[in-house]
Amino acid sequence: MKLGVLISGRGSNLQALIDACASNILPAEISIVISNRPNVAGLERAEKAGLKCLTIDHKFYKDRENFELALNDALEDAGVELVCLAGFMRVLTSTFTERWSGKAINIHPSLLPSFPGLNTHSRAIEAGCRFAGATVHFVSAEMDAGPIIIQAVTPILPNDNPDSLAARVLKAEHEIYVQAVRWIAEGKLFKENGKVIIEGVESGASYYLPPPHSAV
């Protein structure tokens, strides 16, 4: 399966996909990496891996629709079959989501539907949550609201701050993003009544990241 990865920053989830493709964990290849910001670390990662890279700077377009049309053209020209949003910090409109319905996924650093949007870790801590996590879901017109594929769960420790929690959750993000792409590439996902069903996974798709040994 040919992947198109959209980034806006450091590209750590992109790196997880690069490593998984290189080690043949995924029956997939990354056809193109697109950033809406120039000179970000994620582009350096892609170039180091020998991948095709492109910057489509949203600032150069008069509106979201024209920016997304440029994204669509680049993805289609690269033969992309699945779009992977990996820290892509732009809200997408129906111009994009309708074209890639069922063919675009996103990784979000919370246990959706809780805490969509930004500052998820600080919001979870401030709310007194006992657990945090990450979610891979299909992209929909409503932000962070598409059907959930897999989630990772990790405890929020008494001494956690947003940075320490984010670092721990990020490890789980890398695990579940690769797993979600693998299921899709292997044709194991289908939707039923607005929910994702995974062939051969009876107890649901979840990943638990335990607290550090020092906290036990």
Asked if pLDDT for residue 206 goes beyond 80, the answer is no
CB atoms within 10 A of CB 113: 11
pLDDT at 35 over 60: yes
pLDDT at 38 exceeding the cut of 80: yes
**pLDDT at res. 50:** 97
Residue 154, φ and ψ in degrees, nearest 5 = -140, 140
Comparing CA positions, the residue from 40, 98, 31 lying closest to residue 65 is 98
Which of 76, 11, 66 is CA-nearest to residue 44?
11
pLDDT score of 164 more than 50: yes
- Identify the weakest region by mean pLDDT among 7-11, 40-44, 201-205: 201-205
Residue 106 and residue 139 in contact, taking contact as beta carbons nearer than 8 Å? yes
Quote the CA–CA distance of 177 and 148 in Å, as a whole number.
12
For residue 208, what pLDDT is reported?
64
**Over 60: is that where the pLDDT of 214 sits?**
no
Question: Do 109-137+147-216 and 1-100 fall under one CATH topology?
Answer: yes
pLDDT digits (tens, 9 = 90+) for 107-131: 999 999 999 999 999 999 999 999 9
Find out whether 204 and 164 touch, Cβ atoms under 8 Å. no
Q: For residue 43, what are the contacts with CB-CB under 8 A and spacing of at least 6?
A: 7, 11, 33, 35, 53, 55
Mean pLDDT of 13-38: 96
Q: What is the pLDDT of residues 128-161, one digit of tens each?
A: 999 999 999 999 989 889 999 999 999 999 999 9
174 in active site: no
**Residue 150 CB contacts under 8 Å (≥ 6 apart), including other chains:** 135, 136, 176, 179, 180, 183, 205, 206, 207
> Quick one: 109-137+147-216 is in which CATH superfamily?
Formyl transferase, N-terminal domain (3.40.50.170)
Name the band, by pLDDT with cuts 50, 70 and 90, for residue 193.
confident
Cβ–Cβ contacts within 10 Å for residue 189, how many? 21
pTM comes to 0.91
Predicted local distance difference test score (pLDDT) of residue 24: 87
CATH tag, 1-100 = 3.40.50.170
Task: Return all residues near 156 (Cβ < 8 A) that are at least 6 apart.
Answer: 124, 125, 129, 130, 131, 132, 165
Q: Is the pLDDT of residue 211 over 70?
A: no
What is the average per-residue pLDDT within 202-212? 60
Catalytic residue (choose from 108, 121, 137, 174) = 108
With a cut of 50, say whether residue 16 has pLDDT above it: yes
Does 27 have pLDDT greater than 60? yes
Q: Tally DSSP H helices, then E strands, for the chain.
A: 6, 10
Structural domain spans, the chain: 1-100, 109-137+147-216
